[in-house]
């Protein structure tokens, strides 16, 4: 996995270019959104409509446009990564987050497929011992499902933990990684 993936931006632009596509997968629908700088969002959900509403809510300063034909290849690549979570994303990232969130997300990308780390372990790795709740919160605010593998973060008590996209999806991703 490319642990040096570019986290290109922490800046947003009013009316920025944000094109998206949504495609079906074994985990439901996958919405992929890009800017000229890279991958801005990968959302998982039950319907295209739900995901488009989430996109508009998450990026209210943007004017998201559905771009089916221009993003077919990117959409297919993302679905392939969802179906085979051991694959890595070859696209640059254009994500927005606090310094703490970015550190958590970088650390999550260093966890190999098929492995997990507890929220406390992640907090220790980034030099923030005792901040496991903040790590869990950073996971919940991750906008790049699978690309930033928050599904690999688990509770300190052995519990599966939280997952923005639903616990059933988290279980399915972990199982898919364990099976390979």
Catalytic residue numbers read 150
Determine how many CB atoms are found less than 10 A away from the CB of residue 178.
Answer: 11
Residue 6: both structure tokens together = 């570019």
CA distance 60 to 169: 26
Strand partners, 93: 7, 39
* H-helix segments, 42-166: 48-58, 72-83, 99-109, 119-125, 132-141
Nearest CA to 140 among 121, 153, 130? 153
């Amino acid at each position: 996995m490319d642990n040096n993936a570019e986290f290109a931006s922490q800046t947003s632009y009013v009316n920025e270019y944000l094109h998206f596509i949504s495609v079906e997968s074994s985990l439901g629908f996958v919405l992929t959104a890009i800017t000229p700088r890279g991958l801005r969002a990968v959302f998982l959900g039950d319907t295209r409509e739900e995901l488009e509403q989430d996109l508009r809510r998450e990026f209210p300063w943007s004017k998201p446009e559905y771009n089916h034909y221009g993003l077919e290849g990117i959409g297919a690549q993302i679905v392939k990564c969802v179906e085979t979570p051991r694959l890595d994303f070859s696209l640059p990232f254009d994500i927005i987050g606090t310094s703490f969130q970015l550190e958590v997300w970088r650390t999550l990308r260093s966890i190999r497929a098929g492995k997990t780390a507890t929220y406390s372990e992640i907090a220790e790795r980034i030099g923030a011992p005792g901040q496991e709740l903040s790590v869990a919160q950073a996971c919940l605010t991750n906008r790049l499902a699978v690309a930033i593998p928050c599904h690999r973060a688990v509770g300190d008590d052995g519990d599966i933990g939280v997952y923005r996209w639903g616990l059933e999806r988290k279980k399915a991703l972990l199982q898919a990684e364990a099976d390979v």
